[in-house]
Each structure stands twice: as C-alpha cells, then as structure tokens.
Chain A
Amino acid sequence: MAVLFLLPLFWWLSTAVRSTASIPVGLSLFDTWWPGEFRFFENLETAFDLYPMATFFVNTIIVATVVTIGEVVIASMAGYGFAKFRFLGKNVAFAAILVFLLVPQIVVVVPLFQLVASLGFVNTYPALIVPFLVTPLGIFMMRQFMLEIPNEFQESARIDGASEWRIYRSVIMPLARNGLITLAVFTFIFQWDALLWPLIVSSREEMYTLNVGVSLLQANVQTPYNSIFAVTLLFSIPVLVLYFAVQRQISDAVSAGGIKT
C-alpha cells in the first residue's frame, strides 16, 4: 500500500527530469521508471519561458499568507471572546457559526461574486483575500482551543489591572501558541489548495494563482508536460517543507479532533 502511495511521486520525479522526446510510449518497465537523464533545469526554463509561472506562484504566496495572518488574528480573537466571556447574544451567534460550518462554498459563490464585483475587486488581491479573512471553521477551532486554557490566567491578570486587550495579547496569545500554529498551517494549506473562487474572480493572467494557472495550462493540449511537472515540483517544495516542520502539531491536532468525537 505504501508503495502504491509513492508511485505517483516517483512518476512525478522521473517525468520532471526527462527531455520532452522520451516521455511517450516507454515500452519496458525499466524505461518507464528510470529517466536515464537529468533535464530538470532545462524543463524549468521551458516552463518559465512559456508561462508567467513565477507570477502565479508569487500571487498564491501573497494571498495565502495574508489570509493566514487575518484568520489567525481575527479567529483567535473571536474564539477567545466566545470561550471566555459572557455577553448578550453570544449563544445565538455561536450557534449560527456552527450552522455555517455546514454551508458549502459553492452555495455562496454566486452572490459573493456579485458583491465583490460591486466593490470593484474583480482581478485584484482583495477579491482573493477579503472574503476569507475569517472562516466559521477557524472560529470554531479557536474557541475549542481557548476553552482548554484555565480561567486563572485571565483572572489574575485582570486583578493585576491589565486591560482586556493586553490580557489577550500578552497572556492568552502565548498560551494558545500551539493552536495558533495549527490554525495557521491548516489555513495556508486550504488557500494553497483553493481553486473555485480564484477561478471565478481572476480573469487576467497576472492575477492567476498557481492553481488557476496550472488548471488552464492543463486544458491546453500543447502544454509540455515534463516542464509542468518540473515547475509544479519546484513550487510544491515549500508546502512539503512546511508540513515536515510542523508534522507533530498536525498529527496532534488531527488526532485530538478525532478522539473528541
């Protein structure tokens, strides 16, 4: 099973280093798996010459980074508010958020496009960023996380006369560090994966994200596949590195989510 899961990766690697000519109809098994040449950098060059791949990549990174920062700050504030305060309408607001967890994106996409278009955001970064600065899932995750922080920290800071904002900034945020990192990684990966919305709001090439760009290249029969393999491989390295850097946290978060059910 593990071998089956690795096959596509080997396929990806071996195709990314082949020259165009040797891709089709490799007859023997050995020919299929062993490229016998290393043309990775030439393939990269071809891809960069043909398409503004660097722009796509930079767009994706900008959007994913800003959305991640927004989500971490705004959702953690909301999660803290829901977990540690009592105020009028709190339960209603939180129940609404639980319901929204179940609403699929495709359901809101049509009016959202209309709204974003009326704000003049089409083909700009705000169109890609602003609607996702906070999500119901992020608020929910943060609230669950904040519930586990004992009230004593908050109360003793309050007795010491700290302002509520200060308590959040200097007491709660450091305590919630693991939760914030988990949320940040998930948000980044979601954005890295996003296709539907960027496809709708970006019609000019310089605003394409990587996924939109690659998706359109894919539809083009002329696309030299080995170059696309090479360039997507290069651009996938950052998320793979990110994953290995925080592997522990992801495992713990996913496991905890499962056990609590």
Chain B
Amino acid sequence: MRAAGLQRAFQQRHSLVARRDQAGWLFVAPALLLLGAFFIYPILKTLQFSVSEGSIIGELEYVGADNIARLLRDSDFYHSLWITFLYAAGSGLVTISLAFLIAFVLQQVGSFQSWLRSIFFYPVVLSTVIASVVFVSVFNPFSGIMRLLPGGLGATNWLQSSTLVIPALIVFTTWKGLGFYLLIFIAGIANINQDHLDAAKVDGAGGYALARHIVIPMLRRLFIFAWVITIVYGFQNFALVFSLTRGGPNEASRILPIMIYEEAFKFFNMGYASAIAVVMAVVMAAVSLVAFVLWRGDREPV
C-alpha cells in the first residue's frame, strides 16, 4: 500500500517535472524562432558575405581572405576606425565626467533634484534625428547659438570644419545621452554607505577630497560599466552621426557604421561591407572583453 502510494506520488511528481520542462521550451520557443530567423541567420550570412563578393541579388563568389586583405590596405578603413575610436572615446570621456560631476554636486546640494533630473533627461527621449535638426541650426554660424562663442569658434561652422566636426558630435552626443548616465551615477552615489562619507567629513574632507578618495574609488565598477556602454554605443551610433553630419565634411566624421552603410547600400559592395562589419564587431568584442576582465578583477577585494 505504502509503496504503491509512494510510487504514484513519484510518478505524479515526475510528470509534473516533465510538463514543466516542456512548458519552459514552449515559453522560449517564439523568441528563439524569431531570433533565429532575424538575428542568428543574418549573423552567419554576414560571416559568409565577408569572404565573398557579389551584389545583393546576384550570385555570391567565394573570394577567401581577399576582402580582409583589401581592408588591411585600405587607408579609408583606418581613417574610419580612428575617427570612430576618437568619437566614441571622446564622447564617453566627456559624458561620464560631466555625469559624475553633476550627480556628485546634485547629491551635495540636495534640492530641486527631480526638476534638474528632468532637465538633463529630456534629450534622451527625443528622437535623435529630430534633435539633430535643432542642432544643425544651433551650429549655424550666421543665425545659431554657437555664433555667440568668442572669436574663431563662433565664426566657423563646426559641422563644416574637419577639425571641429568631431567636437561638435561630442557636444551633441553628450547633450543627448548625459541624462541616462546621470541617473546611474545618482543611484550609485546614493548607494554608498553614508557612514563612510560622514566619517570622511568629520576628518575634514572637502568636496574634492571626498570625491577623489572615497566616492570615485567606490564607484570604480560603475565607471567601468559606463565606459563599456558609452564605447559600445559610440561605435555603432549611426543615427546620431548620420543625421548631424552624414559623415562629412569630406569623410571627416565617417565612422565605421556609415562606411559600412555606404559600401553596402550606395556602392553595393556587400562582401566588402560585411568584412568591415565583422572586423568592427571583433574590435568591439575585444573592448568589451578587456572591460569585463577589469570589472571581474575588481570583485575580489570587496
């Protein structure tokens, strides 16, 4: 009797587990099917394209490492890689420093927080293209805001100058994205044990010492996290650069995504475009990996 009861209970439990396993698969199946068709398949195709030559409809011809070899000899590619790096690192640096500074000051001051947060965050929700229309006119040296700057900076159109176009993009990127990082830093600072801060204040630490010796070291991981996002985001920010400058003037702001877009959809070099895309993905993966190692290494002492 007892054994039979146990066995029944076991069977029941077993079938429940089986039912659960099956249900788990059914819940993830729609997502996996869609990702398979519209994400995994294209990734594999990109790899195939990168060693082939051909237009978007015609036959593909296997060319092996030709595309990569061409890439390594292409000065346009190095130019774009450098510009992309400059833009991503520059906007990361400016955005993160300012976001931290503002978060730190907001935390010390304490009043008007939610108002100020909204002022810094509203650009994040606007469409980049729409915001770029406003910024193109802001940079207009005859009627825009920038003409109020002193000397040559006000008299030049930043968007037409090959030296000032990257700074212009950094200004726009910072304005557009800062609010997001500000929220992260506000939360990070609020999360620091108040006792540490109070102890430091009792010891006579001013705002600068507090930030330099307590807050920044304690937020190290958060800084790494923010760096990765800004770099990864900057590397692929087609919409922002395309709508503000279209890669100009004279390719001075032609970041890799714009180069890929033009190779693929303007010159129809599918193979070459895919090869650039693969190299770009590898570079980005390497950057993320380095950051991940730093981030992991940081975990031990805590």
Q: Which residue of B lies closest to A191 (CB)?
A: B127
Interface string of A157-170 (1 = CB under 8 A from B): 01000001100100
B133 adjacent to A232 (CB under 8 Å) = yes
Q: How far is the CB of A179 from chain B (nearest CB, A)?
A: 16
User: Chain B residues near A147 (CB, 8 Å)?
Assistant: none
Chain B residue, CB-CB nearest to A212: B129
Among listed B118-126, B149-157, B193-201, interface-contacting one: B118-126
B contact residues, range: 35 or more
| CA–CA, A29 and B256, complex, Å | 39
Majority secondary structure, A binding face: helix
Q: Which residues of B contact A107 (CB under 8 A)?
A: 43, 46, 277-278, 280-281
A193 to B187, CA, bound (A): 26
Residue B274 interfacial (CB < 8 Å): yes
Residues of B within 8 A of A112 (CB): 38, 42
Distance to closest chain A CB from B42 (angstroms): 4
Which of B23, B127, B221 contacts A210 (CB under 8 A)?
Answer: B127
CB neighbours of B46 from chain A (8 A):
107-108, 110-111
User: Once bound together, how far apart are the Cα atoms of A229 and B131, in whole Å?
Assistant: 10
Within 8 A of A (CB), among B3-26: 16, 19-26
SS of B interface (majority): helix
- Would you list which residues of chain B between 266 and 296 have a CB under 8 Å from chain A? 270, 273-274, 277-278, 280-281, 284-285, 288, 295
| A258 & B16 in contact (Cβ 8 Å cutoff) | no
Q: Is B225 positioned at the interface, with any CB of A under 8 Å from its CB?
A: yes
Question: B257 contacts A229, CB within 8 Å?
Answer: no
A85 to B19, CA, bound (A): 10
CB of A111 within 8 A of CB of B41, answer yes
| Residue from the set A1, A86, A97, A131 with the largest chain B CB neighbour count within 10 Å | A1
Q: A134-B31, A251-B183 are in contact. Are A240 and B238 (CB under 8 A)?
A: no
A11–B239 touching, CB < 8 Å: no
Out of B22, B148, B265, B288, name the residue touching A102 (CB < 8 Å).
B288
Query: Per-residue CB proximity of A78-105 to B under 8 Å, as 1/0?
Result: 1011101111101001001100101111
CB distance from B111 to the nearest CB of A (A): 13
